[in-house]
């Protein structure tokens, strides 16, 4: 080994010896080596021989210990305290709500004691995903995807239906989104073929939702995957024409949507009719919707809602089905006052704003996709739950961190942990997206032949 080579290796080792996180050592060595090479070339251009130019370039870099300490600060983990604080506040609100609800009815007396059991489990799940190397999801995306599929299928055999549906698929749909972001990351620079394969992977998750069946899970899954895939195309992750890529996604999506609406026109039209005019069946399909609207409109700033007519003086929990789960927010509005309900919504809104702010700051490709998927999964639940609990639509669901249920709490804590894990490592992961050399057109006519380019490179 030449003296320069030994000095170079010693210098790089001394620098990296000060950098705590080993995952960035290789990228630091590459960057420093490139910088030293540039200095060397400058000295050679000034007439210096190669060996002396190399040694002088190395000397010009300065003290490796000092450089290493500076790089250690630049590559330290980032902590998003605002999201941590908001989640902690919402968890506290959830505990208070469950404590309040547990005193309402003997059938719900175990709500708070159960919360004290599943809350630590959810926090443990958050800690695990927070310190988890999220890049493993990107590297082993297909393994993660098929493991989720296997768990979902297994649930069909070992879990019981609740109100005619397999409830676990709803949570599967939420966890599917980070897995789907990993699939897209694995297909980057694959051209239009990568987009088509992404659609096939989505179809597997959609089939699980249809088998459950869970309409809300399917809706979350479809919207989430569309947003993630659209964002990837717009950022050029696949290569090729963005317009063509979007056409590949949305033309089949619209066609399938129209076909489903046509096939299910009768039931869908009837359900939509009851949603728009619940008074047409006040004791059947329209009862729950009408009751939510009536309770919200009767709510006061503080205290219990004032009901009139035949419901005057009646207990709210006897009037509202699902008051302790699907309509917890409605119950808060009508029992504690709309100030309490609006306060919960305000904290949720702040959480949404901060989450998308964190996703927008991501510096690497997969970190952005994963963060976006977690944001969509949590935001979708909040938006549809609030709309349902204020009488705009009727849909089952959970309010993240507040509604009763250990599985929902744990899943949302895992999603939050993944989001913050990506943010924590944004300075520690070098993930440069290289543009693929894919053709911008799918169909080309040349020499009387129709050429179809799916963006797949020939292997030499």
pLDDT at site 285: 66
Give me the numbers of helices (H) and strands (E) for the chain, helices first please: 19, 2
pLDDT at 442: 41
Task: Give the per-residue pLDDT at 106.
Answer: 82
Q: Per-residue pLDDT tens for 174-231?
A: 999 999 999 999 998 888 999 999 999 999 999 999 998 888 889 899 999 999 999 9
As a whole number of angstroms, the longest Cα–Cα distance in the chain is 99
**Number of CB atoms found within 10 A of residue 113's CB:** 11
- Mean pLDDT within 389-411: 87
Q: Tell me: pLDDT of 454 over 50.
A: no
Residue 439, pLDDT above cutoff 50: no
pLDDT for position 441: 42
Contacts for 423 with CB less than 8 Å, ≥ 6 apart: 78, 80, 358, 361, 362, 367, 371
Q: Contact at 8 Å (CB) between 373 and 367? A: no
pLDDT of the residue at 436? 41
CA distance 355 to 361: 10
Is residue 8 predicted with pLDDT exceeding 90? no
| DSSP structure string for 74-135 | HTS----HHHHHHHHHHHHHHHHHHHHHHTT-GGGTTHHHHHHHHHHHHHHHHHHHHSS-TH
- Cα–Cα distance list, 196 to 96, 223, 272 (Å): 47, 17, 32
Confidence of residue 338 (pLDDT cuts 50, 70, 90): confident
Distance CA 74, CA 77 (A): 9
Report yes or no: 220 and 381 within 8 Å, Cβ to Cβ. yes
pLDDT in tens, 223-279: 999 999 999 999 888 988 889 999 999 999 898 888 877 766 555 556 666 565 566
Taken in order 77, 78, 79, 83, the sign of the CA dihedral is: negative
At 55-69, the pLDDT tens digits run 777 777 777 777 777
- The CA-atom distances, in angstroms, between 361 and each of 88, 316, 354, 418, 427 are 22, 44, 11, 15, 11
Boundaries of every domain in the chain: 3-74, 81-424
Question: Rounded to the nearest 10 degrees, how much is the dihedral formed by the CA atoms of 201, 189, 422, 151?
Answer: 20
Inform me whether the pLDDT recorded for 157 exceeds 90: yes
- Residue scoring higher pLDDT (293 or 22): 293
Over residues 273-330, the pLDDT tens digits come to: 656 556 656 666 677 778 888 888 888 898 888 777 667 667 787 778 888 888 899 9
What's this model's pTM, rounded to 2 decimal places? 0.79
Type and span of the H or E element at 43: helix 25-45
Q: Residue 459 has what pLDDT?
A: 41
The pLDDT tens digits of the residues spanning 98-153 come to 998 888 888 788 888 999 999 999 999 999 999 888 888 988 999 999 999 999 99
> What average pLDDT is seen over the chain?
81
Strand partners, 452: 443
Say which residue, 129 or 70, is predicted with more confidence.
129
pLDDT at residue 274, as a whole number: 57
326: tokens are 């699907």
Give tens-digit pLDDT for 362-391. 878 888 999 999 999 999 999 999 998 988
């Amino acid at each position: 080994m030449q003296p320069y080579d030994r000095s170079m290796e010693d210098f790089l080792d001394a620098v990296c010896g000060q950098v705590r996180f080993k995952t960035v050592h290789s990228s630091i060595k590459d960057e420093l080596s490139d910088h030293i090479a540039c200095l060397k070339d400058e000295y050679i251009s000034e007439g210096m021989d190669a060996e002396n130019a190399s040694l002088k370039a190395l000397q010009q870099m300065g003290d490796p210990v000092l450089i290493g300490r500076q790089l250690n600060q630049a590559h330290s983990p980032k902590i998003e305290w605002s999201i941590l604080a908001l989640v902690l506040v919402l968890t506290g609100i959830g505990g208070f709500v469950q404590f309040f609800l547990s005193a309402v009815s003997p059938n719900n007396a175990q709500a708070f004691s159960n919360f004290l059991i599943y809350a630590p489990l959810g926090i443990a799940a958050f800690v695990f995903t927070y310190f988890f190397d999220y890049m493993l999801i990107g590297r082993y995306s297909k393994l993660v995807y098929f493991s989720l599929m296997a768990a979902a299928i297994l649930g069909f055999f070992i879990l019981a239906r609740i109100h005619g549906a397999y409830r676990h698929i709803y949570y599967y749909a939420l966890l599917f989104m980070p897995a789907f972001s990993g699939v897209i990351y694995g297909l980057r620079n694959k051209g239009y073929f990568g987009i088509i394969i992404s659609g096939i992977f989505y179809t597997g998750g959609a089939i699980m939702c249809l088998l459950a069946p869970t309409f809300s899970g399917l809706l979350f899954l479809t919207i989430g995957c569309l947003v993630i895939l659209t964002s990837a195309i717009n950022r050029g992750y696949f290569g090729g024409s963005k317009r063509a890529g979007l056409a590949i996604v949305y033309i089949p999506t619209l066609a399938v949507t129209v076909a489903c609406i046509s096939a299910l026109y009768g039931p869908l039209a009837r359900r939509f009719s009851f949603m728009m005019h619940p008074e047409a069946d006040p004791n059947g399909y329209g009862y729950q919707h009408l009751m939510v609207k009536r309770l919200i409109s009767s709510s006061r700033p503080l205290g219990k809602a004032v009901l009139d007519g035949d419901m005057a003086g009646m207990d709210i929990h006897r009037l509202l089905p699902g008051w302790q789960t699907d309509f917890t927010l409605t119950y808060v509005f009508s029992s504690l006052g709309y100030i309490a309900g609006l306060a919960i919504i305000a904290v949720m809104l702040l959480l949404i704003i901060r989450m998308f702010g964190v996703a927008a700051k991501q510096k690497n490709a997969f970190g952005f996709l994963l963060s976006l998927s977690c944001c969509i999964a949590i935001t979708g639940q909040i938006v549809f739950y609030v709309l349902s609990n204020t009488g705009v639509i009727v849909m089952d669901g959970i309010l993240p961190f507040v509604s009763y249920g250990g599985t929902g709490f744990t899943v949302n804590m895992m999603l939050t942990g993944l989001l913050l894990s990506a943010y924590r490592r944004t300075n520690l992961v070098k993930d440069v997206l290289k543009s693929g050399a894919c053709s911008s057109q799918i169909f080309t006519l040349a020499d009387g032949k129709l050429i179809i380019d799916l963006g797949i490179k020939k292997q030499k």
